[in-house]
């Protein structure tokens, strides 16, 4: 108030309005405050004594600042009795009812209240606070009015008038209540989950009552207290089973919220005046909770580090075993894992009892009488029916020869699908199982959901006995022997425990070939299973004496690898080199009206090119078809009578023509999924499997055609169209619900350095004189550009040919801006179509494993506005890649690895453990149009590579990562021997078809041996360079033979490394197939050599292949960088060698194209005395380091932290984008300790993407990466 002047009521009101509008100097933060938006949030602790006015805060009726900064708005209808808003911009604010007087804050009530949908409370005065682990709110209410329940006042905390908690005094009771989205329980008594209320407290209205709310964000609870002496606080939930309210999921603990006071007289006839004092909000210190056990979902309820067992391993089921998977009574069964399922759970099996471990149903498991009983479910793992439950097992490191044993007591004699037995594999797609079914014993394998269904002894994936009389009345011993060396698995059974009979008796070979399945020389799961699949009721199986052991194996002297290297290529170019797709209409089709057309052409033949990119002849020994009734080898090259074996010289190839020839397969249509196995003398992969997909039709056109879903599935994809023959009653008016379809009218290139690629999967429209073209147009224009047109005879076919050509209808185009796509008269912009209907449905691409393929879409077209329009959207189907919608979600999310993309552990002593925590962040976004990118489901994580056994995985904090959230994964280095170590962490997730690779590096020392770097050489560098703070020599004096200094054609990041520049240039050869070598002078002795590679040019396997010879020893044959790690991805290879002539010689000999070597590192193991080793370790100087924060950043500025530089050193800072363009530079100096914290404001805000932050001094360069969201 202006001292010395008396203001009338009108003057005061005018003053308040002026204060709101101008005195605060900024735009009001409507509708929650007359203050500016940046004035609402307060720092904790925050206290209000109301002894004096607080300037710059919400004013009372006299213009005095109350200390509060917010006033809730209301979402309901304002009560008429509460009048019109004093300030329409902040409608919940009525200053005439607020008075700061006598060291207290008086609040005269209004009738409005926040209770369920009655959202019209006024003068809920508060502050905005950021979420903390534990928040305490206090306020004193002096002589609180004793009236009805709706005459109340107290503390309030929440998001808005729909979601909050409040602690109030009403009718001499203290009530704590929560509401979530206007919902709160009205149940009477202590059973109400949303209320904690005391009984009536005599004399409460004549005391100063302190109210306290404690909000525990960690526990997800809130508790209300009251005190009449300010010392002893009593919980409002004292008489309840649980004192606290559950606030998990309300959203009030993980973001900013409002905290304050309120009052109302709601149903009473007159207002009440409440007096408040000493409001406070404080953060209570909460120590970090201990790390929870490493819950290993979705395959176990146990910690990840307790699911693996050592061999031998036995379970006799005589007693419970602690800390293992429990049965229905909580008794530990001894098993540690339970398979998850990748398919759809059958409705008959109910909902998961534990969604985090969905394959585990303990109610069906019983440990009793020295046996384990398993009551079956209907789910089964068979081909793509991946929904089996209770596959109980343990994780093991595979042995050279593993024996699994199990007893099944009186196994049920039912149908083939009522079965139980032993299971061994990676997951529900790739495994072998030995089961008892219908009194037969069957050994079967599946690889990526593919297994032969051929009958008889020609089935390569099955070994089954005839029915064995009385087997169901005996104790049957099953034995599965997995020979990793021979690549064979064999199943046996015994009824006496002495004599074991092979299930493969009577077959050409008693075992099954498991080469290439990936279940040997790795980690796998071994256990038991049971199912009744097609049976009408569950079956109870009794198991006993489960055992695993490693058998001694005599390894025959291995012949030298043949040197042959087989590379397969699908000459159709789609969908993959190991997948061929064909179609066949049995009754030749043509139109006879209005004109007679030629007969249709079938795409019933496909060529598989088998190349030899190795050093020696490749011999094709066998071409084995899993279903000879549907397929045949039509020719080898052009010879239809050719016989095997066939020899292929190095650098040459043969074309194998496979023909689809099914006859009378169904009444209308049938999809075939079979295999061709190619057997050769390839030194690494002698057996390669090719999947054969076929669409057989009885006749053409009309209802004889395959559905869009069937076409997509026949190409091996799992994209969901959401309908069968047509889109039902939608008729093109909207997107199909519960499908993979997205709304997209226009597109841009996802990667502007690459063209858009288009492949026509199928044409099923009028045949056989009609053609169709794939065209695109620039947004805003009417001019169409044709990419290709298909052949007129291929109007009823998969993979139609180009018009006037034998090549598949495929092409590329390079649009410069936003573009739409047109097929026939249909456009992706529905506004250009007949009746504005959808003419081209745009569907996300999911691969065969259900993983999103980023920036790829199926475009499914239908002809609109014609008499034959039927909305089946399979008239023309295209696969288009390198596009994304013009606006909105990209429909996939990137999983970033932070803070590094390759983990280098500090040198670690053998027998000790080093730990590193990786953060996996979903970089997906929410967009202005309301769309958002998807969550990421992490499917698997495994460590592989030469030293995988010396690294291990710990906790993964979450398997589902929402956009802009993170999961933490612990990795440990536990070396067992001295030397340089490398492995790779492989993570698969559902937003990427290929696994992520995170290299793991370590150096292992001991008390008497240390590893030191002798020399580091940068390939293709004429000068010495410091890269990633590590000095590298030029290779100028060492490179010999055919030489070319090569580099990336388009500068881009390198996956699997944090030092991209180490790999972006490389030493190659001047001519194809020429030898390149290094001759590096060193002292004689033993060395460990690390070679660095990346494929920066080729994007197909077999394009660059070379061998590596070190000191006249062939150490790596037929090395194909792209095949191992893909494009623009780093990989290292480590070798041991001995130098005797003073020169380390490394030769690179290509068999395809030229070599590529990025860098060479040379290490030596030094033996030292223990005390000397300790002293040396202690004297190591900490390496220079830089880091930026915040990281990720929004692009406006960041802070650079510099450590361990030279004292007062000049540092040149540069920020570079991934195209290599410098966007900003800056100079700074380090302090006397070689440190600096430098604030870097950007002259113009950085766009979304990755940037390189370089710090360069006179002694070298070091850099880090900055991610801008």
For range 499-524, the mean pLDDT = 88
pLDDT at 287: 57
702 inside domain? no
Residue whose C-alpha is closest to residue 878's, from 939, 813, 815: 813
Residue 23: pLDDT over 60: no
Reported as a single tens digit per residue, the pLDDT across 148-174 is 888 999 999 999 999 999 999 999 999
Whether 676 and 723 map to the same domain: the answer is no
1 inside domain? no
Residue 14: pLDDT over 60: no
For range 1215-1237, the mean pLDDT = 74
**Which residue did the predictor score with more confidence, 37 or 749?**
749
For range 1086-1113, the mean pLDDT = 96
Residue 1180: pLDDT over 70: no
pLDDT at 790: 96
Phi, psi of 1185 (to 5 degrees): -150, 150
Asked which of 563-572, 574-583, 952-961, 1192-1201 is least confident by mean pLDDT, the reply is: 1192-1201
Residue 1169: pLDDT over 70: no
Whether 413 and 398 map to the same domain: the answer is yes
Residue 1234: pLDDT over 90: no
At 1205, list the tokens. Answer: 């530089």
Residue 15: pLDDT over 50: no
Asked which of 284-288, 707-711, 1175-1179 is least confident by mean pLDDT, the reply is: 1175-1179
Residue 978: pLDDT over 70: yes
Whether 314 and 185 map to the same domain: the answer is no
pLDDT at 392: 97
Domain CATH number, residue 1217? 2.60.40.1930
CA 304, 308, 311: angle at the middle one, nearest 5? 170
CA dist 552 and 1114 (Å) reads 29
CA dist 656 and 621 (Å) reads 13
Whether 87 and 226 map to the same domain: the answer is yes
CA dist 1026 and 67 (Å) reads 57
- Domain termination residue (choose one: 1129, 1159, 1180): 1180
288 inside domain? no
Residue 1203 burial (CB < 10 Å; 0-12/13-18/19+)?
A: middle
Asked which of 79-83, 453-457, 737-741 is least confident by mean pLDDT, the reply is: 453-457
CA dist 301 and 324 (Å) reads 9
Residue 1179: pLDDT over 60: no
Residues ≥6 apart with Cβ < 8 Å to 536: none
CA dist 1054 and 1066 (Å) reads 13
Residue whose C-alpha is closest to residue 505's, from 516, 518, 490: 490
Q: Where residue 1 falls among pLDDT bands split at 50, 70, 90?
A: very low
Domain CATH number, residue 907? 2.60.40.10
CA dist 683 and 689 (Å) reads 16
354 inside domain? yes
1103 inside domain? yes
Residue 4: pLDDT over 80: no
Reported as a single tens digit per residue, the pLDDT across 127-143 is 999 888 899 999 999 99
1226 inside domain? yes
Whether 277 and 324 map to the same domain: the answer is no
Reported as a single tens digit per residue, the pLDDT across 76-88 is 999 999 999 999 9
Residue 19: pLDDT over 60: no
Domain CATH number, residue 1153? 2.60.120.430
Domain count, the chain: 7
pLDDT at 1167: 77
Whether 228 and 145 map to the same domain: the answer is yes
> 10 Å Cβ neighbour count for 964?
16
Whether 429 and 340 map to the same domain: the answer is yes
Whether 844 and 922 map to the same domain: the answer is no
Q: Tell me the residue range of the domain where 873 lies.
A: 719-885
Whether 1206 and 1107 map to the same domain: the answer is no
Residue 705: pLDDT over 60: yes
At 1107, list the tokens. Answer: 């061998």
Asked which of 486-500, 543-557, 890-904 is least confident by mean pLDDT, the reply is: 543-557
Asked which of 161-175, 253-267, 1158-1172 is least confident by mean pLDDT, the reply is: 1158-1172
293 inside domain? no
For range 302-310, the mean pLDDT = 91
Whether 546 and 571 map to the same domain: the answer is no
Residue 494: pLDDT over 70: yes
Inter-residue contact 609 to 632 (CB < 8 Å): no
Partner residues linked to 908 by β-bridges: 1004
At 1152, list the tokens. Answer: 């395809």
Residue 361: pLDDT over 70: yes
Q: What is the DSSP string of 891-940?
A: SS--EEEES-SSEEPPPEETT--EEEEEEEEE---B-TTS-BPPPEEEEE
For range 488-502, the mean pLDDT = 94
Residue 572: pLDDT over 60: yes
Residue whose C-alpha is closest to residue 755's, from 924, 590, 881: 881
Reported as a single tens digit per residue, the pLDDT across 1042-1064 is 999 999 988 899 999 999 999 99
Phi, psi of 80 (to 5 degrees): -60, -35
Whether 19 and 152 map to the same domain: the answer is yes
End-to-end alpha carbon distance in the chain: 48
Q: Where residue 558 falls among pLDDT bands split at 50, 70, 90?
A: very low
Domain CATH number, residue 451? 2.60.120.200
pLDDT at 286: 63
pLDDT at 1155: 98
Whether 809 and 893 map to the same domain: the answer is no
* HEC secondary structure over 690-713: EEEEEEEECCCCHHHCCCHHHHHH
Residue whose C-alpha is closest to residue 292's, from 280, 283, 304, 284: 304
Residue at token pair 């363009």: 1221
Q: Where residue 464 falls among pLDDT bands split at 50, 70, 90?
A: very high
Residue whose C-alpha is closest to residue 1121's, from 1148, 1147, 1100, 1145: 1100
For range 587-602, the mean pLDDT = 89
For range 1078-1091, the mean pLDDT = 96
pLDDT at 132: 82
Classify strands 579-585 and 687-697 as parallel, antiparallel or unpaired: parallel
Residue at token pair 């059974």: 493
Q: Where residue 26 falls among pLDDT bands split at 50, 70, 90?
A: low
1191 inside domain? yes
- Domain termination residue (choose one: 816, 850, 885): 885
- Domain termination residue (choose one: 283, 316, 331): 283
pLDDT at 1263: 79
What's the mean pLDDT when you consider all of the chain? Answer: 90
């Amino acid at each position: 108030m202006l001292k010395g002047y008396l203001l009338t009521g009108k003057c005061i009101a005018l003053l308040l309005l002026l204060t709101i509008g101008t005195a605060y100097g900024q735009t009001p933060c409507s509708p929650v405050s007359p203050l500016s938006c940046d004035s609402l949030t307060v720092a904790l602790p925050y206290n209000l004594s109301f002894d004096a006015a607080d300037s710059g805060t919400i004013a009372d009726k006299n213009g005095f600042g109350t200390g509060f900064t917010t006033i809730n708005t209301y979402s309901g209808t304002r009560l008429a009795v509460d009048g019109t808003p004093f300030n329409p911009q902040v409608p919940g604010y009525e200053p005439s009812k607020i008075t700061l007087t006598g060291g207290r804050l008086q609040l005269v009530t209004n009738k409005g209240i926040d209770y369920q949908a009655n959202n019209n409370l006024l003068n809920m005065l508060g502050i905005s606070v950021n979420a903390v682990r534990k928040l305490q709110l206090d306020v004193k209410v002096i002589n609180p009015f004793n009236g009805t329940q709706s005459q109340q006042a107290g503390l309030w905390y929440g998001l808005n008038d729909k979601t909050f908690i409040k602690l109030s005094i009403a009718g001499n009771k203290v009530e704590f209540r929560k509401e979530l989205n206007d919902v709160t329980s009205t149940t009477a008594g202590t059973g109400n989950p949303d209320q904690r209320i005391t009984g009536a407290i005599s004399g409460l209205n004549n005391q100063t009552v302190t109210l306290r709310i404690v909000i525990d964000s960690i526990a997800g609870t809130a508790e209300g207290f009251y005190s009449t002496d300010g010392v002893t606080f009593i919980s409002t939930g004292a008489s309840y089973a649980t004192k606290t309210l559950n606030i998990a999921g309300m959203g009030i603990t993980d973001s900013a919220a409002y905290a304050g006071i309120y009052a109302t007289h709601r149903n009473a006839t007159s207002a009440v005046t409440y007096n408040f004092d000493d409001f406070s909000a404080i953060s209570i210190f909460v120590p970090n909770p201990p790390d929870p056990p490493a819950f290993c979902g979705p395959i176990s309820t146990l910690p990840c580090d307790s699911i693996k067992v050592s061999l031998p391993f036995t379970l006799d089921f005589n007693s419970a075993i602690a800390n293992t998977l429990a049965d229905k009574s909580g008794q530990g069964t001894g098993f540690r894992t339970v398979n998850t399922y990748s398919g759809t759970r059958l409705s008959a099996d109910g909902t998961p009892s534990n969604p985090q471990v969905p394959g585990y149903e303990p109610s069906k498991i019983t440990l009793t009488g020295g046996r384990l009983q398993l009551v079956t479910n209907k789910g089964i793992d068979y081909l793509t029916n991946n929904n089996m439950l209770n596959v109980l097992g343990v994780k093991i490191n595979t042995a050279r020869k593993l024996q699994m044993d199990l007893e099944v007591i009186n196994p049920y004699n039912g149908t083939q699908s009522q079965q139980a037995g032993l299971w061994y594999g990676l997951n529900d797609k790739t495994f072998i199982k030995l089961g008892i079914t219908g009194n037969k014993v069957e050994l079967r394998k599946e690889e990526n959901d593919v297994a032969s269904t051929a009958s008889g002894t020609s089935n390569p994936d099955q070994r089954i006995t005839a029915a064995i009389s009385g087997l169901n009345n005996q104790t049957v011993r099953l034995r599965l022997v997995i020979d990793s060396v021979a690549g064979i698995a064999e199943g046996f059974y015994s009824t006496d425990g002495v004599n074991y009979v092979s299930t493969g008796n009577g077959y050409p070979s008693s075992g099954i070939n498991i080469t290439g399945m990936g279940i040997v020389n790795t980690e796998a799961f071994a256990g038991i299973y049971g199912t009744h699949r097609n049976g009408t009721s569950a079956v109870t199986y009794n198991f006993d004496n489960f055992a695993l052991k490693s058998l001694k194996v005599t390894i025959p002297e291995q012949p030298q690898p043949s040197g042959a290297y087989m590379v397969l290529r699908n000459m159709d170019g789609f969908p993959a080199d190991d997948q061929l797709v064909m179609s066949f209409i049995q009754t030749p089709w043509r139109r006879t009206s209005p004109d007679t057309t030629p007969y249709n052409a079938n795409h019933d033949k496909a060529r598989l090119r088998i190349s030899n990119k190795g050093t020696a002849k490749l011999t094709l020994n066998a071409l084995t078809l899993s279903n000879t009734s549907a397929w045949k080898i039509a020719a080898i090259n052009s010879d239809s009578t050719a016989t095997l074996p066939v020899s292929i010289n190095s650098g040459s190839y043969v074309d194998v023509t496979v023909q689809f020839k099914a006859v009378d397969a169904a009444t209308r249509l049938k999809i075939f999924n079979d295999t061709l196995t190619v057997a050769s003398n390839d030194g690494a992969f002698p057996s390669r499997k090719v999947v054969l997909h076929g669409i057989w039709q009885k006749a053409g056109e009309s209802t004889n055609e395959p559905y869009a879903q069937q076409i997509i599935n026949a190409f091996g994809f799992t994209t969901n169209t959401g309908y069968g023959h047509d889109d039902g009653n939608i008729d093109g008016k909207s997107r199909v619900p519960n499908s993979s379809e997205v709304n997209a009218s226009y597109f841009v290139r996802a990667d502007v350095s690459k063209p858009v690629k288009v492949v026509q999967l199928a044409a099923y429209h009028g045949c056989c004189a009609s053609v169709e073209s794939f065209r695109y147009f620039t947004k805003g224009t009417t001019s169409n550009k044709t990419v290709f047109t298909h052949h007129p005879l291929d109007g009823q076919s998969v993979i139609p040919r180009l018009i006037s050509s034998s090549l598949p209808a495929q092409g590329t185009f390079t649009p410069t801006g936003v573009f739409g796509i047109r097929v026939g008269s249909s456009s992706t912009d529905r506004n250009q179509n007949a009746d504005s209907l959808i003419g081209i449905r745009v569907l996300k691409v999911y691969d065969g494993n259900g993983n999103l393929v980023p920036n790829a879409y199926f475009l499914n077209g239908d002809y609109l506005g014609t008499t034959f329009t039927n909305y089946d959207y399979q008239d023309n189907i295209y696969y288009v890649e390198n596009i994304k919608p013009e606006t909105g979600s990209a429909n996939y999310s990137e999983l970033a690895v932070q803070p590094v993309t390759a983990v280098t552990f500090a040198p670690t002593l053998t027998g000790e453990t080093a730990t590193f925590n990786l953060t996996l962040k979903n970089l997906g976004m929410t967009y202005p149009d309301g769309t958002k990118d998807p969550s990421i489901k992490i499917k698997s994580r495994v460590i592989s590579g030469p030293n995988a056994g010396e690294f291990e995985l710990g906790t993964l904090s979450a398997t589902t990562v929402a956009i802009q959230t993170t999961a933490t994964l612990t990795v440990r280095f536990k070396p067992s021997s001295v030397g340089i170590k490398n492995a790779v962490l492989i993570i698969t997730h559902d937003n990427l078809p290929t696994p992520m690779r995170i290299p793991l590096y370590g150096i292992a020392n001991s008390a008497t041996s240390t590893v030191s770097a002798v020399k580091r050489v940068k390939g293709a560098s004429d000068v010495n360079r410091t890269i990633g703070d590590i000095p590298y020599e030029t290779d100028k004096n060492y490179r010999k033979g055919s030489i070319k200094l090569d580099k990336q054609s388009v500068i881009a990041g390198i996956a699997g490394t944090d030092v991209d520049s180490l790999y972006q240039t490389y030493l190659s050869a001047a001519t194809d197939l020429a030898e390149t070598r290094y001759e590096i002078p060193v002292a004689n002795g033993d060395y460990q050599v690390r070679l660095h590679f990346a494929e920066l040019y080729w994007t197909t396997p077999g394009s660059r292949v070379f061998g590596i010879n070190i000191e006249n020893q062939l150490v790596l044959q037929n090395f194909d960088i792209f095949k191992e790690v893909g494009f623009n991805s780093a990989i290292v290879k480590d070798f041991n060698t001995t130098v005797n002539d003073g020169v380390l010689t490394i030769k690179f000999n290509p068999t395809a194209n030229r070599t590529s070597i990025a860098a060479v590192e040379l290490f030596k193991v030094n033996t030292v005395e223990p005390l000397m080793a300790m002293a040396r370790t202690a004297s190591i100087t900490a390496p220079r380091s830089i880091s930026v924060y915040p990281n990720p950043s929004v692009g406006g500025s960041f802070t650079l932290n510099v450590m361990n530089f030279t004292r007062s050193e000049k540092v040149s800072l540069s920020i570079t984008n991934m195209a290599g363009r410098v966007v900003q530079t800056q100079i700074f100096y380090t302090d006397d300790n070689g440190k600096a914290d430098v604030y870097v404001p950007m002259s113009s805000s950085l766009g979304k993407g990755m940037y390189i932050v370089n710090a360069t001094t006179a002694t070298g360069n070091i850099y880090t990466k900055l991610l801008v969201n």
